[in-house]
Structure 1
Amino acid sequence: MNTFRTALNASTLFPFRLTLPEQIRVAAEAGYEGIEFWMRDVDAYLEQGGTLTELRRYAGDAGIVFANAIAFWKWADLDERERAGGLELAIREAERLAELGCPSAAAPPFGQVEGSSLERIADCYGELAGRIRPLGVDPLLEFWGRAKALSRLEEAIVVADRSGVADAKLLLDPFHMYTGGSSLEALSRLSGDRIGIVHVNDYPADPPRETIQDRDRVFPGEGVFSGERFASTLHGAGYRGFVSLELFIPDFGGRSALDVAKRGLEAVKRIYGVQ
C-alpha cells in the first residue's frame, strides 16, 4: 500500500552538524518527500546571512516540502511571565514559518508544567492556537512521555477536545507513547484528520522503559515496537500524512549522512508500507 508520505526529521542528522540547506540536500538525495527542520537551524542560517526567501527557493528547487517545524515555546508554563514570553516567541517564529511555507510546528509541554491541570493546559493551547493560526501556522499538540504534565496520548486527546480549537491536531511519536505509557488503543479515538504528523522510530527492550533515553532510539523495525500494527492503525484511522523519521543516535559509526538517511528511508518504507 502507498499510504503515507515520508519526511526526515533533522534530529536524525545532528551528529553530522549540517547546515539547514545541507540537511535539505541530504533529504532530497535520499528520496524523502519532506523535511522536519528545527527552528534553531533556521536561526543559524539567518545569522550567517541567508534569507527566508532563499531558503524556501532552495527547498523548492530540491523538491523538498517543509513538513513541520520543531519549536520550543513555553506556551503552558506555570510562570505567567515565561508563558507570555513563549507566546511572543511563537508569534515571531510562526511569522517566519509562514514566509517559508511551513504549515505547522510542534507544540510540546516545554517549560515548567508540573502540577498544571489538563483544563489549564487546554486553555493555554487554545490561546496559542488563537495567536498563530491566523498567521497560517498550526500548532501540533505534542505529548512527551517524560513530561510532568501532558505525557500520554490519552491526556493530549482530552486537552485537544477541551481547548475549543476547531480540528486541533496532534503530533504522535511511538517513543513518547512508550515512555509515557500511552495505549495504542487510544488511537481508535482519533480520526486521521486529527493527526498533524507522525514521528517514527523504534526502541530496544533494554534499557528498560524507566531509564531509556532519546539516544537509545533505533531505526524502525530494529526494536520491539510493532511498527506494522501502528501503521495499520494509522491507516485505519484515515491518516495519509507524513511519517517522519526522528532519531537521536549520537554516532553512526563512520557512515555518511546520506547513508544514514537512505537506511532510514528504507526502514520507513518497509515498516510503514510506503512504495
Structure 2
Amino acid sequence: MSNLNRRQVLKAIGLTAGAAVLSEAGATAAPIAPKTGNGFVYSLNMSTIRGHNLGFVKELEVAAKAGFTSVEIWIDTLQTYLQGGGSLTEAKKIIDGLGLKIEDAIGFAPWLVDDEATRKKGLEQLQQEMEILAKIGCHRIAAPPAGMTKGPVLDLDVITERYFTILKMGEQTGVMPQLEMWGGSQNLKHISQVLYVAVQCGNPNARILLDVFHVFKGQSAVESLNYVGHHALDIFHVNDYPAGISPEQISEPDRIYCGDGIAPLKQILQIVKNHERPLVISFEVFNKNYYAQDALTVAKTALAKMKAAAS
C-alpha cells in the first residue's frame, strides 16, 4: 500500500490505534453511541437448512418461527421460486408479513475471473441479481472469489480494480457487494488480502465478509481481526469447528453449532463487536447431520447457541 499514507490507512480501516494517536494530540473524541442490546443482530443463513429442500417461502417461515428477524437468502433458491410462478412483489409481501429483514444474499457470479468473456457474463449476472434483490428489500450481496479458487493467484491490485467495478454497480442498484474471504481459495484466503482490497479501492462503501470457519481454514490469525475496523464489517458469519481436523483437511460439512467446537468464538465476537451500531452475525453451516433433523429444531438450536456464544 505504498501509495497510501499512514493517515489514510488508519482512517479507512478505523483502527483504534489511530484514535489513540488523535487523542494524544489533543483532539476531542466523538461520543460513543449507546449500545443496542448486546451489540449483535442474529441472522440465519439459509445454508443451515438448505439441505432440507424446503423452498424459498418455507425457509423464511422456519426462520421466523425459530425467532429470527434477519436472514441471508440464497439467490438460486429465490430464482427457483420465481421460475415456479412466484413474483418479486409476492416475495416482498411474504418477507414483510413474517417480520423478516433480508440482510444479504449468497450468490456466485464469476466477477473476478481472468477470462474476459466469462467475467463479462459474470458482471451481467451480478447486475441482474442486484436488480432482483433490490426489489425485495435486500441491500447486500456476497462477492466471493467464485471461479478463482484454484488460481491463478491474482495481483491484489487487479482484484481491487475488479472489486471497485462491482462496487459502482452496487451504488447504482442499491445492493452493495460484500467482498467475501474464502479460506480454501487461492485468491482472497487471508484477512490481510480482503482488507487490502477494501482499503486500496478507496471507496467508502467497501465492505468485507468474514467467517469463523474461513479464518481457521485460511490460517489467518484471530488477532488479525483487531486491524479490520468496524467500518469494514456489516456481516460476520459464525459457526464452530471440531477438534482434531487441520485447516488443510477441514471442509464445509465439518461446520457445527456455535459453542460445540474449539473455535475461539468469544474472543472473535469480542473483537468484532461494534458498540456504535449492531453487527449482523449470521449462522452458516452445511452440516449433513443437521439436514437429517427437523428444520425448525435446527434453526431454534442455532439461534440459542449463537446467543449463548455472544453473551
Letter in 1 for 2:258: P
CA contact (8 A) 2:39 2:275 kept: no
Q: Does 1:40 align with 2:76?
A: yes
Q: Distance in 1 between matches of 2:131 and 2:74?
A: 15
Gaps of 5+ in 2: 1-36
Distance apart, 1:206 and its partner CA: 2.3
Q: Aligned residues, how many?
A: 273
Q: Deviations over 1:22-69 (max 9, x none)?
A: 010000000011110000001100011000111111011001110100
Distance apart, 1:172 and its partner CA: 1.2
Structure-1 residue corresponding to 2:264: 226
CA contact (8 A) 1:218 1:247 kept: yes
Letter in 2 for 1:99: K
Distance 1:243 1:236, change over 3 A: closer
1:90-105 to 2 correspondences below 5 Å: 90-105=126-141
Secondary structure (helix, strand or coil) at the match of 2:95 reads: helix
Q: Does 1:133 align with 2:171?
A: yes
Aligned partner (choices 260, 278, 297) of residue 240 of structure 1:
278
Distance apart, 1:192 and its partner CA: 1.7
Distance 1:240 1:41, change over 3 A: same
Q: How does the TM-score come out when normalised to structure 1?
A: 0.96
Q: Distance in 2 between matches of 1:146 and 1:172?
A: 13
Aligned partner (choices 115, 124, 128) of residue 153 of structure 2:
115
Structure-1 residue corresponding to 2:253: 215
CA contact (8 A) 1:27 1:261 kept: yes
Secondary structure (helix, strand or coil) at the match of 2:63 reads: helix
CA contact (8 A) 1:7 1:32 kept: yes
Distance apart, 1:7 and its partner CA: 0.7
Q: Which has more radius of gyration?
A: 2
Secondary structure (helix, strand or coil) at the match of 2:220 reads: coil
Secondary structure (helix, strand or coil) at the match of 1:252 reads: helix
Q: Does 1:200 align with 2:238?
A: yes
Secondary structure (helix, strand or coil) at the match of 1:111 reads: coil
Q: In angstroms, what is the RMSD of aligned CA positions?
A: 1.4
Distance apart, 1:236 and its partner CA: 5.5
Distance apart, 1:97 and its partner CA: 0.6
Give runs of ≥4 in structure 1 deviating > 3 Å: 236-239
Distance 1:155 1:238, change over 3 A: farther
Letter in 1 for 2:77: D
Q: Distance in 2 between matches of 1:253 and 1:130?
A: 38
Distance 1:61 1:5, change over 3 A: same
Q: Distance in 1 between matches of 2:54 and 2:91?
A: 15
Secondary structure (helix, strand or coil) at the match of 2:273 reads: helix
Distance apart, 1:196 and its partner CA: 2.1
CA contact (8 A) 1:105 1:137 kept: yes
Q: Does 1:50 align with 2:86?
A: yes
Q: Distance in 2 between matches of 1:3 and 1:221?
A: 19
Q: Does 1:184 align with 2:222?
A: yes
Q: Distance in 2 between matches of 1:253 and 1:98?
A: 30
Distance 1:185 1:238, change over 3 A: farther
Q: Distance in 2 between matches of 1:94 and 1:146?
A: 26
Structure-1 residue corresponding to 2:100: 64
Aligned partner (choices 54, 60, 64) of residue 24 of structure 1:
60
Q: Name the stretch that deviates more: 215-224 or 205-214.
A: 205-214
